[in-house]
Amino acid sequence: MQPASGVLNLQTGSIEATDRNKYLTERIPTPFIPEETCPRIDELVRWIANYDPAVEKFFWRWMGYCLTGDMSLHKSLFLKGCGRNKKTTLWAGLFGVPLISVPKVSVGGRCFPA
């Protein structure tokens, strides 16, 4: 990850000098400040996790995994539910892009793919 202040080593949490040999093509215009917090994102994750610490911990771990670009764990995340259960809020709030969804049909309170 390449914030304005250098290259953030996601394994050590340290800032390193920019290095063309790392082939980083995108830069985040915000500097990395290790002690900085983001209460709005913290609260969003707590709310989406229904204030369950285990679910909250999972989300933080999953988001960190997404940031690394390391695909060696071969992990995917499927967000499931009929609607109004925070799937789109999570996706849009964290990534700012539309969520890919599969149409569903609700019959008797149960969801089925259309």
**Do both 45 and 63 map to the same domain?**
yes
Residue 79 per-residue DSSP state: -
Q: Which residue has the higher pLDDT, 83 or 6?
A: 6
Residue 113 φ then ψ, to 5°: -60, 140
**Do both 30 and 41 map to the same domain?**
no
**Do both 71 and 83 map to the same domain?**
no
Average pLDDT over the chain reads 79
pTM attached to this predicted model = 0.60
**Do both 30 and 56 map to the same domain?**
no
| 3: containing domain | 1-36
Contact in structure between 86 and 48 (CB atoms under 8 Å): yes
Query: Angle 86-92-95 (CA atoms, 0-180°, nearest 5)?
Result: 130
Number of neighbouring beta carbons within 10 Å of residue 90: 20
pLDDT tens digits, 53-104 = 998 998 888 887 877 777 788 877 777 777 777 777 777 766 776 666 655 6
Total of domains in the chain: 3
